[in-house]
């Protein structure tokens, strides 16, 4: 049997889970029922995203290893794709208004689309992007 070609769940290790929870609420994301003090989850299209304390997540996924330093980039980006190039700018502004940190303003990319980057309060990088030809699932 091969590994299924899909991503089902993304879990972000949180240093300050209440702060991240408030940040994603300010983005307009609705938390799914069943959350606890140390766990929150959101339906993001066909993928579920969770927030979980970084030390507990590290105990499962990286036993004996230190987490990445606070505020530094961990080498991973997440993306929210939108329907038009103009939507990139509007959603990028909305993310900043919700408390995201500017990483790079939206620009036309060499691959033909448009995107810009923001970071959540713990440094997780989010690309706000439009990719020509990408068919987005219904919300």
Residue 42 and residue 4 in one domain: yes
- pTM, two decimals, is 0.92
- What pLDDT shows up at residue 74? 86
* Residue where a domain terminates, one of 65, 83, 109: 65
Residue 77 and residue 135 in one domain: yes
Residue 45 and residue 102 in one domain: no
Residue 61 and residue 6 in one domain: yes
Domain residue limits at 86: 73-139
- Is 35 strand, coil or helix? coil
Instruction: Say how far apart CA 97 and CA 62 lie, in whole Å.
Output: 34
Q: What's the total number of domains in the chain?
A: 2
- The DSSP 8-state label assigned to residue 110 in this structure reads T
* Residue where a domain terminates, one of 19, 43, 65: 65
Instruction: Say how far apart CA 42 and CA 21 lie, in whole Å.
Output: 10
Residue 59 and residue 110 in one domain: no
Tens digits of residue pLDDT in 63-92? 999 888 887 888 899 999 999 999 999 999
**Tokens coding 74:** 């961990």
Tens digits of residue pLDDT in 3-32? 889 899 999 999 999 999 999 999 999 999
Residue 126 and residue 84 in one domain: yes
20 Cβ neighbours under 8 A, 6+ residues apart: 12, 14, 40, 51, 120, 121, 122
DSSP secondary structure letters along 72-93: S--S-EEEEE-SSHHHHHHHHH
Residue 100 and residue 133 in one domain: yes
Residue 56 and residue 99 in one domain: no
Residue 37 and residue 58 in one domain: yes
Residue 90 and residue 52 in one domain: no
Tens digits of residue pLDDT in 107-132? 999 999 999 999 999 999 999 999 99
Confidence of residue 137 (pLDDT cuts 50, 70, 90): confident
The CATH number linked to 22 is 3.10.180.10
Chain CA centroid to CA 44, Å: 9
- What pLDDT shows up at residue 73? 86
């Amino acid at each position: 049997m091969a590994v299924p070609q899909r991503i089902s769940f993304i879990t972000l290790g949180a240093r300050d889970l209440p702060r991240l929870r408030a940040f994603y609420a300010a983005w307009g994301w609705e938390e799914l029922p069943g959350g606890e003090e140390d766990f929150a989850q959101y339906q993001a299209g066909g993928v579920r995203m969770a927030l979980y304390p970084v030390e507990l997540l590290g105990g499962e996924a990286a036993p004996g290893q230190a987490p990445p330093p606070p505020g530094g980039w961990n080498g991973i980006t997440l993306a929210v794709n939108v329907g038009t190039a103009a939507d990139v700018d509007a959603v990028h502004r909305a993310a900043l208004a919700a408390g995201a940190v500017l990483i790079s303003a939206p620009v036309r990319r060499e691959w033909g689309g448009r995107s810009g980057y923001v970071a959540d309060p713990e440094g997780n990088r989010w690309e706000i992007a439009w990719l020509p030809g990408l068919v987005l699932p219904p919300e």
